[in-house]
Amino acid sequence: MMSIRHVIASPVSGRTIPLDQVDDEVLSSGLVGEGQAIEPSDGTVLSPADGRIVRMASTKHAFCMLTDDGLEVLVHVGIDTVGLAGEPFEAKAATGDHVTCGDVVMKADLESIRQQGISALTSVLITNYDDDEEVTAVQSASDEIRAGDPLLVVCK
């Protein structure tokens, strides 16, 4: 029987979408990691766990964190948003900062992103789970999720 080792919260509110349905080959193939995508309804992006920001992208569209219990989590806002050069994003945390689950890490101007014809789909990926671990999405009946609600579990 598998036991839960990690619980990762949703960094945004919105509608969940299985990662394999994301219109981006690198994300949908699981090449970067396993996880879940969310079509955000709000541009406030929270920390999905307690841990340290190990990298805030210079374009502020993504961050990677190492949780206090050793899991690497990548939060990537939008598809092809790196080309926006950080314009619709405001970082509220920086590389090296320790954050608590629920702390605001960044803000994204979703309207501005979408007006440019770019998807705001936000991916949450676990990038360092062990071969004997399984990453599972926590699905709600409506596929709607609130920021801070459980999104992923890693079981061993």
Each residue's pLDDT tens digit, 128-151 = 987 888 888 886 656 899 999 999
Residues ≥6 apart with Cβ < 8 Å to 49: 6, 7, 8, 9, 65, 67, 68, 71, 73, 101
Catalytically active residues are: 76
Q: What is the pLDDT of residues 63-116, one digit of tens each?
A: 999 999 999 999 999 988 878 888 899 999 999 999 999 999 999 999 999 999
CB atoms within 10 A of CB 145: 23
CATH topology of domain 4-155: Glucose Permease (Domain IIA) (2.70.70)
Stated pTM of the model: 0.93
The pLDDT assigned to 131 comes to 80
**Least-confidence region, from 21-25, 46-50, 75-79, 146-150:** 21-25
The DSSP 8-state label assigned to residue 17 in this structure reads E
Query: What's phi and psi for 117, nearest 5 deg?
Result: 75, 25
Mean pLDDT, rounded, of the chain? 91
Asked whether 41 and 106 are in contact (CB, 8 A), the reply is: no
